[in-house]
Each structure stands twice: as C-alpha cells, then as structure tokens.
Amino acid sequence: MRGAILAKLRFLAARARDPDPLVADVLQRLDRSDGARLTPLPRELGVSLRTLERRFLAATGLGMKTCARIQRMQQTLHALSRPEAALAVVAQELGFSDQAHLTRELAALAGRRPQCAPPLRLS
C-alpha cells in the first residue's frame, strides 16, 4: 500500500504543468526513508519550510507531514502483520513515543484501533 500512495503522489506531481524537481526530490527521500523526520529537509534542500510545504501541496494535493504519517502507518501495519508482533515493540521500532501513541495514530488514520489476534486454543 505504501508503494501505491507514493505512486499516486508521483502521478500527481508528474501531471503538473511543470513537474517540480524539489517535490520530486522530497518524494524520493520519503520513498527511501525509514520514518526519518521532515525537519532537516528544508535546510538540506536550501529552501524555507513554508516554501517546501507550499510547493509540495500544490504538486501533490497532500501536505508533506500527511504523506509522512501515511508512510509511517503503512510501515506500522506491515510490522503488525508479523505473527510475533507486539504493539509495544513495533511502537518502539518505528519511533512512536509509546504504544498508546501508535494506537492513537492508527485510530486517527485508519479509523480503528489495532486488535490482538485471538488466543490459540490447545485441544
């Protein structure tokens, strides 16, 4: 799903009259990112945060932070799909402050809270 969202963002950026190279660079960085923070991006790219946000929104229809949240949630869902996954461990691995933070983010973006797998029954 992460790939689908990033593909959609690339499509929207390419549809613009003049594809914005700055936005293309941000999309590549988000694609390669493992949940890295957006804070250093403007400095690394030599523009102000406001300029970067405005150009990203104009080209994609989404804010950079929204895109980063979606990407992080996709990583979370992938990690939680592992049979041995524990919410607290996944939260720590992906940089959430705690398990409750992960749960709130999942509820905000997906509309539901994570559910534990049913216990195994031994016969």
Do 39 and 18 touch, CB atoms closer than 8 A? no
Q: Which residues, in sequence order, are CB contacts of 42 under 8 Å at separation 6+?
A: 48, 49, 51, 52
Residues 60 and 92 in one domain: no
- 119 in a domain, yes or no? no
Residues 6 and 63 in one domain: yes
Question: What is the per-residue pLDDT across 32-71, written as a single tens digit (0 to 9) for each?
Answer: 765 557 778 888 889 999 999 998 888 888 888 888 788 7
Residues 8 and 61 in one domain: yes
Tokens of 62: 């989404």
Question: What is the per-residue pLDDT across 74-87, written as a single tens digit (0 to 9) for each?
Answer: 888 888 888 888 88
The model's pTM: 0.64
Residues 86 and 44 in one domain: no
Host domain of residue 37: 2-67
